[in-house]
Amino acid sequence: KALAEGKPVIVDFQADWCPTCKVQKPLVQALLREPRMKDVVLFVADYDKEKDLKRALRVSSQSTFVVFKGGKEVGRSTGQTKKEDLAETFAKAL
């Protein structure tokens, strides 16, 4: 629904057992608190359970972010753990 409405969307594929995902979590929370990111909708997808979504978005690794703007994919990243790198990826949604 958020995609159909053209909202900026980020889908975060994470797994409980993933050390990289654990490092990313506080960085993501900090980035989404920034005023410029106020309209971004974050969906967290369980990498182990969301098999159909993984297939549809061609995600092959946990710790992957898929970024949408205007209903279209505009970027993705896997395994980024530096706040500035994640900020650059997330900014593509704006």
3-state DSSP assignment of residue 42: strand
Q: Under 8 Å CB-to-CB from 56, ≥6 apart: which residues?
A: none
3-state DSSP assignment of residue 44: strand
**Residue keyed to tokens 């958020």:** 2
What number of CA atoms fall less than 13 Å from residue 14's CA on the CB side? 16
Instruction: Give catalytic residues, as residue numbers.
Output: 18, 21
3-state DSSP assignment of residue 92: coil
